Chain A
Amino acid sequence: MAGWRRVIARLRSLLDNKSAEEDLAREVASHLTLLTDDFERRGMSPEEARLASRRAYGGVEQAKQAHRDERSLLWIEQTMQDLRYGLRTLRKSPGFTIPAVLTLALGVGACTAIFSLVNAVLIRSLPYGDPEHLVYLFSPNPSLKIPAEVICPSYGDFYDLKREAKSYVDMSNFEQAQFSVAQQGTTQRIGGARVDADFFSTLQSMPELGRTFAGEDNLQANTKVAVISHSLWVSMFGARPDALNRSIQLDGANYQIVGVMPPEFEYPFKSDLPYGDSDIKSTQIWVPLALNAQARTSRGIGNNVSFARLRSGVSIHQAQAEMAGIMARLDKEYEADPRDADAGLTREWGALVESFTGISIGPVRPLMRLLLAAVGLVLLIACGNVANLLLARAAERGRELGVRAALGAGRGRMVRQLLTESMLVGVGGCAVGIVLAVLFLRLLPKLDPGNIPRLNEASLDTRVFLVAIGGSLLTSLVAGLMPAIGTSRMELTEFLKSHAVRASSAGHSRLQSALIVAQTAMVVVLLAGAGLLIRSYINVESVDTGFTRSAVTFHVSLDQRYSKPEQHVAFYKDLMAKLEALPGVQAAGSVNYLPLTNSESLDFIYVDGFDNKDHQQTEGRDVTPHYFAAMNIPLVAGRYFTDADASATANRPVIINQKFAETFFPNRNPIGGRITGDPKRARWWTVVGVVTDVRHTSLEEEPQRQMYHASYDAGDASVAVRSTLPPATVANEIRVTLRSIDPKIAATNVLTMGDMVSIATARRRFQTSLLTVFAGIALIMALVGLSGLMRFSVNRRTREVGIRMALGAARRDVMLLILRNASVMVVLGVGLGLACTWIATRLLKSFLFGVGQHDPFTVVTVSVLLVVCGLIAAFVPARRAASIDPMQALRTE
Chain B
Amino acid sequence: MPIQILQGTLDLMILRTLATMGPQHAYGIASRLQQVSDDALNLNQGTIYPALIRIEQHGWTQGSWGRTENGREAKYYTLTKAGLKALDEETERWRQMAGVVEKLLAEEQ
Taking beta carbons and an 8 Å cutoff, which residues of A are in contact with B? Answer: 2, 5-6, 9-10, 23-24, 26-28, 30-31, 33-35, 37-38, 56-60, 62-64, 66-67, 69-71
Which stretch in B14-22, B52-60, B91-99, B101-109 binds the other chain? B52-60
Residue contact B82 to A2, C-beta cutoff 8 Å:
yes
Is B41 an interface residue when CB atoms closer than 8 A count as contact? no
Inside 8 A of B52's CB, which chain A residues have their CB?
67
Given known pairs A34-B25, A34-B72, the reply for A28 and B58 (CB within 8 Å) is no
Taking beta carbons and an 8 Å cutoff, which residues of B are in contact with A? Answer: 25-28, 30-31, 44-47, 49-50, 52-54, 56-60, 68, 70, 72-75, 82, 86
Residue contact A34 to B59, C-beta cutoff 8 Å:
no
Please, could you name 29 A-B residue pairs with CB atoms under 8 Å apart, sorted by A? A2-B58, A2-B59, A2-B60, A2-B82, A5-B59, A6-B57, A10-B57, A23-B75, A26-B73, A27-B75, A30-B27, A30-B72, A31-B25, A34-B68, A34-B74, A35-B27, A35-B45, A37-B70, A38-B31, A56-B44, A57-B45, A58-B44, A58-B45, A59-B46, A62-B46, A64-B49, A66-B46, A70-B50, A70-B54
A69 to B50, CA, bound (A): 8
For A57, give the chain B residue with the smallest CB separation: B45
Inside 8 A of A57's CB, which chain B residues have their CB?
44-46
10 closest cross-chain pairs (CB), A and B: A63-B46, A58-B44, A70-B50, A34-B27, A67-B49, A9-B57, A6-B57, A57-B45, A66-B50, A5-B59
Inside 8 A of A2's CB, which chain B residues have their CB?
58-60, 82, 86
Q: Which residue of the partner chain, among A56, A70, A71, contacts B45 with CB atoms under 8 Å? A: A56
A513 to B75, CA, bound (A): 63
Q: Which residue of the partner chain, among B49, B58, B59, B68, contacts A66 with CB atoms under 8 Å? A: B49
Inside 8 A of A71's CB, which chain B residues have their CB?
53, 57
A38 to B45, CA, bound (A): 13
| Most chain A CB atoms below 10 A, which of B28, B31, B50 | B50
Residue contact B46 to A9, C-beta cutoff 8 Å:
no
A678 to B3, CA, bound (A): 117
Q: Which residue of the partner chain, among A28, A34, A56, A67, contacts B53 with CB atoms under 8 Å? A: A67
Inside 8 A of A37's CB, which chain B residues have their CB?
70, 72
Inside 8 A of B25's CB, which chain A residues have their CB?
30-31, 34
Q: Which residue of the partner chain, among B46, B70, B82, contacts A58 with CB atoms under 8 Å? A: B46
Residue contact B53 to A70, C-beta cutoff 8 Å:
yes
Inside 8 A of A9's CB, which chain B residues have their CB?
56-57, 59
Residue contact A67 to B50, C-beta cutoff 8 Å:
yes
Q: Which residue of the partner chain, among A26, A38, A58, contacts B47 with CB atoms under 8 Å? A: A58
CB distance from A75 to the nearest CB of B (A): 13
Given known pairs A2-B82, A57-B46, the reply for A30 and B74 (CB within 8 Å) is yes
Inside 8 A of B86's CB, which chain A residues have their CB?
2
Q: Which residue of the partner chain, among A5, A30, A60, contacts B46 with CB atoms under 8 Å? A: A60
For B73, give the chain A residue with the smallest CB separation: A30
A70 to B57, CA, bound (A): 10
CB distance from B75 to the nearest CB of A (A): 5
A752 to B85, CA, bound (A): 84
Inside 8 A of B57's CB, which chain A residues have their CB?
5-6, 9-10, 70-71
A35 to B27, CA, bound (A): 7
For B27, give the chain A residue with the smallest CB separation: A34
Inside 8 A of B49's CB, which chain A residues have their CB?
24, 27-28, 63-64, 66-67, 70
| Most chain B CB atoms below 10 A, which of A37, A59, A70 | A70
Inside 8 A of A23's CB, which chain B residues have their CB?
75
A497 to B72, CA, bound (A): 64
CB distance from A318 to the nearest CB of B (A): 53
A9 to B56, CA, bound (A): 9
Inside 8 A of B74's CB, which chain A residues have their CB?
27, 30-31, 34
A874 to B26, CA, bound (A): 70
CB distance from A20 to the nearest CB of B (A): 9
For A23, give the chain B residue with the smallest CB separation: B75
CB distance from A72 to the nearest CB of B (A): 10
Given known pairs A37-B70, A37-B72, the reply for A31 and B59 (CB within 8 Å) is no
For B53, give the chain A residue with the smallest CB separation: A70
A6 to B60, CA, bound (A): 10
CB distance from A37 to the nearest CB of B (A): 6
CB distance from B83 to the nearest CB of A (A): 10
Inside 8 A of A27's CB, which chain B residues have their CB?
26, 49, 74-75
CB distance from A22 to the nearest CB of B (A): 12
CB distance from B16 to the nearest CB of A (A): 18
A10 to B57, CA, bound (A): 7
A70 to B56, CA, bound (A): 11
Inside 8 A of B75's CB, which chain A residues have their CB?
23, 26-27, 30
CB distance from A578 to the nearest CB of B (A): 93
Inside 8 A of A69's CB, which chain B residues have their CB?
50
A60 to B44, CA, bound (A): 10
Inside 8 A of B44's CB, which chain A residues have their CB?
56-59, 63
A23 to B59, CA, bound (A): 18
For A58, give the chain B residue with the smallest CB separation: B44
For B56, give the chain A residue with the smallest CB separation: A9
CB distance from B27 to the nearest CB of A (A): 4
Inside 8 A of B59's CB, which chain A residues have their CB?
2, 5-6, 9
For A59, give the chain B residue with the smallest CB separation: B46
Inside 8 A of A64's CB, which chain B residues have their CB?
49
Q: Which residue of the partner chain, among A24, A28, A33, A62, contacts B72 with CB atoms under 8 Å? A: A33
For A27, give the chain B residue with the smallest CB separation: B75
A31 to B68, CA, bound (A): 11
CB distance from B15 to the nearest CB of A (A): 13
